[in-house]
Amino acid sequence: MGKKFEGWECSLQCSGNLSPQAHYPMRRLEEEGRDSEGKKVVLSVMGMSCAACAGSIEKAIKRLPGIREAVVDVLNHKAQVLYYPQMLHEQRIREAIEDAGFEAKVMEEDSKDTSTQICRIHVRGMTCTSCSSTIESALQSLHGVHKARVALTTEEAEVCYDPKIVTHNHFMSAIEETGFEAVLISTGEHITKIELQIDGIKNEQSLNVIERSLHELPGVETIDIYPDINKISITYKPYMTGPRTFIEVIESTGSGCFKAIIFPNDGGREAQRQEEINRFFKLFIWSLAFTIPVFLTSMVLMYIPGVKRVLDIKVVNMLNIGLLLRCEFATPVQFIIGRRFYVGAYKALRKGSANMDVLIALGTNAAYFYSLYVVERAASSRHFKGSDFFETSSMLISFILLGKYLEVLAKGKTSQAIAKLMNLTPETATLLTQDDEGNVVSERQIDSRLIQKEDVIKVVPGAKVASDGFVIWGQSHVNESMITGEAKPVAKRKGDMVIGGTLNENGVLHVKVTRVGSESALSQIVRLVESAQMAKAPVQKIADHISKYFVPMVIALSLSTWLSWFLAGKFHAYPKSWIPSSTNSFELALQFGISVMVIACPCALGLATPTAVMVGTGVGATQGVLIKGGQALENAHKVNCIVFDKTGTLTVGKPVVVTTKLLKKTSLSNFYEFAAAAEVNSEHPIAKAIVEHAKKIIEEEQNHPWPEARDFASVSGHGVKAIVLNKEIMVGNKKMMLDHNIAISAEAEETLAEAESLAQTGILVSLDGEVAGVLAVSDPLKPGAKEVISILNLMKIKSIMVTGDNWGTANSIARQAGIETVMAEALPETKATKIKELKSSGYTVAMVGDGINDSPALVAADVGMAIGAGTDIAIEAADIVLMKSNLEDTIIAIDLAKKTFSRIRLNYIWALGYNLLAIPIAAGVLYSSTRFRLPPWIAGAAMAASSLSVVCSSLLLKNYRRPSLLNNLDMNAIKIE
């Protein structure tokens, strides 16, 4: 692999430009083979070196009649084909692959199924890291669960499991047993769910008839019926069926008396978050309504003479109106509005853990029940005098609810990147109906959620593309910045891929849909960012470990504080003047104890890392840098050595014609007319480069009609030959010319040698047995690559190039880029070995590659960065995906990681520092010298403020700006069409 373009071999490690169907997982094809009348064959394909090869093989296979689907796996040298055996034999498929220039043989199907699924569940009721740890442990303990992650910030659980052993119902039960509410989001990566509302239902039998009709459809997984609201929920495989089919089946059932529409949803994730915000706001307002009278009667109205006399009127014995009013107003706050704290504390204690709710419940109960004791003593005694703490318990709950409301409000802003991505797809789409010849018969507006695979949709100028697919008609420019971060619009014409959610700028496009639902590029990106936001950074283990012991430790400190002050007062260890006039020594001790209990906040500690990771990964997504969570961020900020692949990473990854030398009297346009006419029939990357260059020379439209090529033949590894306008044309390497007894002049030899010295590939073109010209084809250095390497050097980061190409080409590219250390002629395994050697030498290594042939090296590195635009991202192997394929994004990724990790450190300093400083003050260490103490309600406000401050600190990352060194970097210095 990687020997320039010698021997007419494809050396380009393509940056991921697979054909539209190549992105589907092979597992999907296996499932499709089982669920249809088609037959599946697996072939071993030798000779592939890049994704362009895979695309050539796919096209060759799909030209055959009776092919339903084909997927080519470059990395594993396999092709899986689903075909109709009554129309085609597998031997013909093998021959088609060999005709494309590759070796193929039929393999025995591997019947071993090692599939896993990922289930996502929304978890309600979590308050701190001890809650998420409890749920995580419960899920991890289930047999069949490979891995479970629970994120406090996103309130989601993600479970990787074996569907043969365990189901999502087990996860839901496990979560609910721990005392939290579970709402299913999805059960698998390639399953889509839709809810339909059905009108015309008269009885349960009608629903049963509809259910049976839907179950007969291929691809339908589960059907849930809700007869009370005439709703039906369907999970299905989006590549086999879709919602429009469901609606057609429902409306054709029962003599057409049923009508089905997509069930009006509530806005999904954002609506749930808004509901939570509204819930906390209402609780706070109600709490405030009851707390204000308590506060006024205890702290304000007592100083107004006329009102004081009314409040002091005795009801029974020493029980006055003021005390009775405070008791009546504080009780609903404690037990109705504050009920959630009791529930949370009970659920936590039942599972043997303690969370923030336990602290709040203990603190407020201590204040409330002591006050209740004061009420009882006052009502039963004629001489009792004591102060109540009703204002402490009610104001404490009010401030905590205010803090929670502000915290949820702030946390909602941390996930705005996800919300923006999810809202990119348009609400409607224009569906085209075509006849057998491809002519448009009709068009209609449909809900974009009704789009299915193989549909043809029209995209007008100014409209968003409704789903992933490829252009079958029209030309335009599409702004893909919302997906890839690349600001420059991309030209699109027939055969080009478009991504759902991108903006069509000028021309009209007809797009054939290839991916819908969870398979779409946008869904994959959203899932990647969501997964990143759930992933815990190693540094978070410190917080998790502390949180495990934090609450019990705080309870012990609180009891110790109360006991110390109580005993000190009992034995007169401090002057009586220290005791405020309205209290006694017991009450003073109780206030110190409650203050310690409520001021200590495990939430701030638990939110320090995940909120910063959430904002950091969200900012990265908007910059076109997808970071797969805290582990990647933590490793990336320490990177001091970057290993670059060459082809497709440092270079464009696409051959272009750089020079042309004519050796015969003919015009340049005529020369290229002949060369392109022969090469237009080939799928080889070099052939495509020659055709593209010919179009520029001739300056014709995109679909220029080339002269007909007769007797076309592709000579594997050498070139092509054909008869064009009665002239015998050959385009190929030196060996091909010599094999056909075509003399190569000294001038042609000199041109070939010059191309070789410049790491270019020389291509000879002969007309009627005489060499007419020499083309030099090269894979040029990416724009800005040299500047990026220079900036990395300024950042004290060592740059190394590792490539499978030969030493001559490697050294030439390295010189152009400014890289001193080069390793050439390296196999993928050798690249991984080199990275391991660098790691053992003390470097923290990042590998930047195309994510296909470089997978072993990407995995071996501390941080794997995959170059790939939009739909072709190497999600599995890489830790970070650079969607724009710009090398400058390596700098942005490292810089963003440094900024995010600095923010995490600052959050920890704030959270730990706050507790270390606040707890002693709340315990009264300053009271002896300054008489300063924190009343419990102020301690509660300070506790709420600590969590809010950590979230707001993380939100400051949203102001991230790319490094100033990149501002003058011209990434468009070289334009490759």
Q: What is the mean pLDDT of residues 542-551?
A: 73
138 three-class SS: helix
Element (H, E) at 321: helix 321-332
Q: What is the mean pLDDT of residues 897-923?
A: 87
- CB under 8 Å to 270, separation ≥6 — which residues? 419
Q: Which one is predicted more confidently, 493 or 171?
A: 171
> Are 323 and 375 within 8 A, CB to CB?
yes
Identical fold between 115-185 and 190-264: yes
Q: What's the pLDDT score for residue 717?
A: 67
Contacts of 504 (CB under 8 A, 6+ apart): 459, 460, 461, 462, 463, 464, 465, 476, 478
Q: In the structure, what pLDDT confidence band is assigned to residue 3 with cuts at 50, 70 and 90?
A: very low
Residues with a known catalytic role: 645
Whether 244 contacts 467, CB under 8 Å: no
Q: Comparing 554 with 76, which gets the higher pLDDT?
A: 554
Contacts of 307 (CB under 8 A, 6+ apart): 301
Q: How far apart are CA 183 and CA 521, in angstroms?
A: 25
pLDDT of residue 765: 93
In DSSP terms, 852 is beta-bridged to none
Render 508-542 in DSSP notation, one character per residue.
-EEEEEEE-GGGSHHHHHHHHHHHHHHSPPTTHHH
Per-residue confidence band for 977, with pLDDT thresholds at 50, 70 and 90: very low
pLDDT tens column, 790-832: 999 999 999 999 887 778 778 888 988 999 999 887 777 788 8
Q: What is the mean pLDDT of residues 356-362?
A: 82
Does pLDDT of 853 surpass 70? no
Residues 6+ apart with CB under 8 A from 672: 690, 693, 694, 697, 698
CA neighbor of 679 nearest in space, from 669, 688, 667:
688
Q: For domain 435-519, say whether CATH 2.70.150.10 is its number.
A: yes
Name the pairing type of β-strands 798-802 and 821-823.
Answer: parallel
What does the chain come to in residues? 977
Question: Which pairing describes strands 509-515 and 468-473: parallel, antiparallel, or unpaired?
Answer: antiparallel
The CATH number, out of the four listed (3.40.50.970, 3.30.110.30, 1.10.3720.10, 3.30.70.100), of the domain defined by the range 37-104: 3.30.70.100
> Distance between terminal CA atoms of the chain?
25
pLDDT digits (tens, 9 = 90+) for 377-413: 889 888 877 778 788 888 888 888 887 787 777 666 6
Q: Is pLDDT of 187 > 60?
A: yes
Sign of the Cα pseudo-torsion (207, 209, 212, 217, in order): negative
Q: Which residue has the higher pLDDT, 266 or 457?
A: 457
Pick the closest to residue 394 from 490, 265, 298, 489 (CA basis): 298
> What CATH architecture applies to the domain 190-264?
2-Layer Sandwich (3.30)
Tell me the pairing of strands 440-447 and 476-479: unpaired
869 with 843: CB under 8 angstroms? no
Considering only residues 39 and 311, tell me which one the structure prediction assigns the higher pLDDT.
311
pLDDT at 10: 39
CATH number of the domain located at residue range(s) 627-649+782-892 in this protein: 3.40.50.1000
Rounded mean pLDDT, 296-318: 87
CATH class of 654-776: alpha beta
Cβ 856 vs Cβ 831: under 8 Å: yes
Q: Is 171 left (phi over 0), alpha (psi -120 to 50) or beta?
A: alpha
Pick among 3.40.50.300, 3.20.20.70, 3.40.640.10, 3.30.70.100: CATH of 115-185: 3.30.70.100
Cα–Cα distance, 850 to 826 (Å, whole number): 15
What phi, psi does 224 have (nearest 5°)? -115, 135
What are phi and psi for residue 306, nearest 5 degrees? -65, -45
Which amino acid, 830?
T
Sign of the dihedral defined by the CA atoms of residues 464, 467, 471, 474, in that order: negative
Quote the pLDDT of residue 854. Answer: 72
**DSSP secondary structure letter of residue 857:** H
Neighbours of 953 (CB within 10 A): 21
Domain boundaries, the chain: 37-104, 115-185, 190-264, 269-423, 435-519, 534-626+893-961, 627-649+782-892, 654-776
242 pLDDT higher than 50:
yes
Q: Which of 27-36, 198-207, 649-658, 726-735 shows the highest mean pLDDT?
A: 726-735
Q: CB–CB of 426/466 below 8 Å?
A: yes
Radius of gyration of the chain (CA): 35
SS3 128: coil
H or E stretch covering 754: helix 746-757
